[in-house]
């Protein structure tokens, strides 16, 4: 008895420890999205690019400010002359002895320049850099929304596989129990041996389906963990956010008509806002390129001094200011080429905006119709589960009473399992479809996951 008590105590402690360790690896949907927003490589690189865009804005404003630089110079010189003779002004020959001469000088100066007029190119560059920065910020926000949706979709896929695995496990248990019942009946002579063989095949098929379901579940979990940059060798338990709810919420009631949804998307989509700014930036590029057709006026200024001794370097001071006017007459067609290239970029940006608008409309239409179709399919599949369950129960009872055949039981069991599996598939597709439509509208919230 003492041995039995120790055995139960050990089993209890092992169960508690297992539950404790298992709870540490629970992963909720909110936690998964939060992790993805922290570790997604594309998002990290896009955020890094923002610093470059900010530097471009600062540089564009800097072109309006006078430049200033400090310079210094030191010069040392030695001249060796071997001497010789030369003729003076009167024609007399004069001998010059060998000589060596040294000289050194120091100079320092402060100066710079400022662009007074360049055909408004500098102002166009400021506008272009600001638009590019704002567009990049919109891109970051759109990437975050896509990450939320992708994480949710992978999470639902894994949950779906988990639920299907449970269905296969229950089906194996059902068929094991039925196999034992039929085998006992065969021993009593109430059913033929053929029924035992038929059920044995059914049980084998159920066990194979269980292995396949387990494999699919492991793959879906690995895909989710890999997307989250987590260790796929760790064990995680996913938490169904809709667990405990007997009825699935009607998400279709949250959305208006298709035309209204398109307007909402065009007002909210960050990628659409970003592309509109890219179009504006492209036209700023045209203005900047056209600046090459206008004269360029530059102001220059400097202050400095020079001496053979450092303490006396500013005894002789030079202050200067000048204006420089450059008038383009012929630039080897480079200016014309730059303008044409900028115009082409603007036209391509407008075309990209048009294509994106069509794409958004298609995404809204597809997601909206898909959500409605899945809601109807979910209603039908839920009814099919109830009906198939009743048929399986009835056929099993008829077989036990001797008025039914084993084939009816096997077919009813298959129909019920397929109905349950289809209901689970449609349910999680419905959840994902709702997120897909919200994401297509540009309204998928990511702020709550970043806290």
Phi-psi region of 2 (alpha: psi -120 to 50; beta: other; left: phi over 0): alpha
pLDDT category of residue 451 using cuts at 50, 70 and 90: low
**3-state SS, residue 366:** helix
Quote the percentage of the chain above a pLDDT of 90.
70
CA quadruple 374, 378, 381, 383: dihedral sign: negative
Looking at residue 14, what is its pLDDT? 43
pTM (predicted TM-score): 0.83
Quote the percentage of the chain above a pLDDT of 70.
94
pLDDT at 381 over 80: yes
Q: Per-residue DSSP letters for 167-233?
A: HHHHHHHHHHHHHHHHHHHHHHTSS-HHHHHHHHHHHHHHHHHHHHHHHHHHHHHHHHHHHTT--TT
Please give the average per-residue pLDDT across 276-290, as a whole number: 95
Locate 443 and state its tokens. 């309204």
Looking at residue 2, what is its pLDDT? 43
8 Å CB contact between 227 and 151: yes
Looking at residue 246, what is its pLDDT? 66
User: Which distant-in-sequence residues (6+ apart) come within 8 Å of 54 by Cβ?
Assistant: 133
pLDDT at 100 over 90: no
Phi-psi region of 306 (alpha: psi -120 to 50; beta: other; left: phi over 0): beta
pLDDT per residue over 52-65, tens digit each?
Answer: 999 999 999 999 99
Higher per-residue pLDDT: 2 or 344: 344
β-pairing verdict for 26-27 and 237-238: parallel
Looking at residue 17, what is its pLDDT? 41
Give the Cβ contact number of residue 183 at 10 Å: 16
Cα–Cα distance for residue pair 263/273, rounded to 1 Å: 13
Name residue 115's beta-bridge partners. 298
């Amino acid at each position: 008895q003492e041995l039995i008590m120790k055995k139960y105590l050990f089993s209890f402690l092992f169960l508690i420890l297992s539950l404790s360790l298992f709870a540490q690896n629970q992963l909720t949907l909110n936690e998964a999205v939060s992790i993805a927003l922290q570790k997604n490589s594309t998002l990290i690189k896009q955020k890094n690019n923002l610093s470059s865009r900010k530097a471009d804005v600062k540089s564009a404003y800097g072109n309006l400010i006078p430049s200033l630089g400090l310079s210094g110079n030191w010069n040392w010189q030695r001249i060796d002359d071997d001497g010789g003779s030369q003729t003076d002004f009167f024609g007399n020959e004069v001998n010059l002895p060998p000589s060596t001469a040294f000289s050194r000088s120091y100079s320092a100066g402060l100066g710079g320049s400022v662009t007074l007029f360049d055909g408004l190119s500098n102002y166009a560059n400021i506008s272009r850099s600001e638009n590019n920065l704002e567009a990049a910020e919109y891109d970051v926000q759109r990437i975050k929304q896509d990450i939320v949706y992708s994480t949710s979709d992978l999470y639902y896929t894994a949950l779906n596989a988990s639920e299907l695995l449970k269905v296969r496990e229950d089906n194996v248990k059902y068929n094991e129990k039925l196999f034992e019942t039929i085998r006992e009946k065969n021993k009593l002579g109430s059913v033929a041996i053929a029924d035992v063989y038929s059920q044995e095949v059914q049980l084998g098929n159920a066990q194979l389906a269980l292995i396949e379901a387990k494999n699919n579940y492991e793959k879906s979990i690995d895909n989710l963990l890999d997307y989250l940059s987590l260790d796929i060798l760790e064990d995680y338990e996913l938490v169904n956010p809709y667990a405990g709810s007997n009825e699935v919420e009607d998400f279709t009631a949250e959305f208006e008509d298709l035309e209204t949804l398109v307007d909402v998307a065009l007002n909210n989509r960050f990628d659409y806002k970003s592309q509109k700014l890219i179009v504006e930036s492209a036209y700023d590029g045209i203005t900047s390129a056209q600046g090459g057709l206008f004269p360029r006026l530059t102001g220059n200024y400097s202050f400095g001094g020079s001496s053979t001794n450092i303490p006396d370097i500013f005894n002789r001071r030079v202050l200067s200011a000048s204006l420089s006017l450059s008038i383009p007459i012929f630039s080897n067609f480079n200016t014309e080429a730059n303008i044409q290239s900028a115009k082409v970029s603007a036209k391509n940006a407008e075309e990209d905006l048009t294509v994106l608008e069509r794409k958004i409309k298609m995404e809204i239409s597809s997601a909206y119709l898909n959500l409605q179709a899945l809601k109807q399919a979910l209603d039908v599949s839920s009814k099919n589960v109830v009906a198939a369950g009743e048929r399986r129960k009835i056929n099993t009872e008829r077989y036990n009473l001797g008025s039914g055949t084993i084939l009816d039981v096997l077919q009813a069991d298959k129909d019920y399992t397929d109905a349950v599996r289809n209901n689970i598939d449609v349910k999680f597709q419905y959840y994902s479809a709702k997120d897909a439509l919200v994401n297509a509208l540009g309204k998928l919230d990511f702020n709550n996951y970043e806290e």
